């Protein structure tokens, strides 16, 4: 599969759509198998109650290959989750998903995006730095298991 960004498009997933809910459910099942903590009900609740948005990376056939979940707060967004299907890992799709979702957020007048990532997740840290995220601080013992989080921020061009 080509990881050329022109081969993919970003679209917002609609939890009211049975098709999009089924797509989300499939991702959540994969998350559960990879030791992640989001389930479909939690994601839907977050979207309904907090205004979080789900952006899906669709290939030319319309198949969603990855999902980014952002919590919106004015001109700032918090990246809650970035996930690429297991079979698409290490193909560059994570970078395409992140870059295209950031472009979509800028069109919504978002000026900055913040995130936290495990300090031991070196591949994610490299990805975030590659697309322009800067390290802000370390949040000690942030995760349930006591692991530290690196807080990072991305700013739209011109900020």
- Number of C-alpha atoms within 13 angstroms, CB side, residue 152? 23
* Model confidence at 101: pLDDT above 80: yes
Tokens for 131, please give them: 């697309």
Domain 5-155 carries which CATH code? 3.40.630.30
pLDDT by residue (tens digit) across 6-59? 789 999 998 888 888 888 888 777 766 655 566 777 778 778 888 888 899 999
pLDDT by residue (tens digit) across 74-89? 999 999 989 888 788 8
* Model confidence at 136: pLDDT above 50: yes
Q: Where are the beta strands (DSSP E) in the chain?
A: 9-12, 53-58, 64-73, 76-84, 112-118, 134-139, 149-155
Please state the rounded mean pLDDT for residues 111-130.
Answer: 95
Tokens for 27, please give them: 């991702």
Q: Which pLDDT value is given to residue 33?
A: 64
pLDDT by residue (tens digit) across 137-155? 999 999 888 999 999 999 9
pLDDT by residue (tens digit) across 54-77? 899 999 998 899 999 999 999 999
CB proximity list for 10: less than 8 A, separation 6 or greater: 55, 56, 57, 58, 97, 100, 101, 103, 104
**SS3 call for 79:** strand
CB proximity list for 5: less than 8 A, separation 6 or greater: 96, 99, 100
Domain limits, the chain: 5-155
């Amino acid at each position: 599969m080509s990881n050329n960004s022109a081969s993919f498009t970003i679209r917002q997933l609609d939890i009211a759509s049975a098709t999009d809910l089924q797509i989300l459910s499939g991702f959540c099942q994969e998350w559960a198998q990879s030791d992640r903590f989001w389930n479909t009900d939690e994601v839907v609740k977050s979207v309904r109650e907090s205004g979080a948005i789900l952006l899906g990376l669709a290939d030319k056939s319309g198949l969603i290959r990855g999902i980014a979940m952002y919590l919106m707060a004015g001109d700032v967004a918090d990246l809650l989750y970035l996930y690429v299907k297991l079979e698409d890992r290490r193909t560059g799709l994570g970078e395409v998903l992140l870059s295209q979702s950031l472009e979509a957020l800028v069109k919504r007048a978002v000026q900055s995006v913040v995130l936290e990532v495990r300090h031991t997740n070196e591949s994610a840290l490299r990805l975030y730095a590659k697309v322009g995220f800067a390290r802000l601080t370390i949040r000690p013992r942030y995760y349930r298991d006591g692991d530290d989080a690196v807080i990072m921020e991305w700013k739209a061009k011109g900020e």
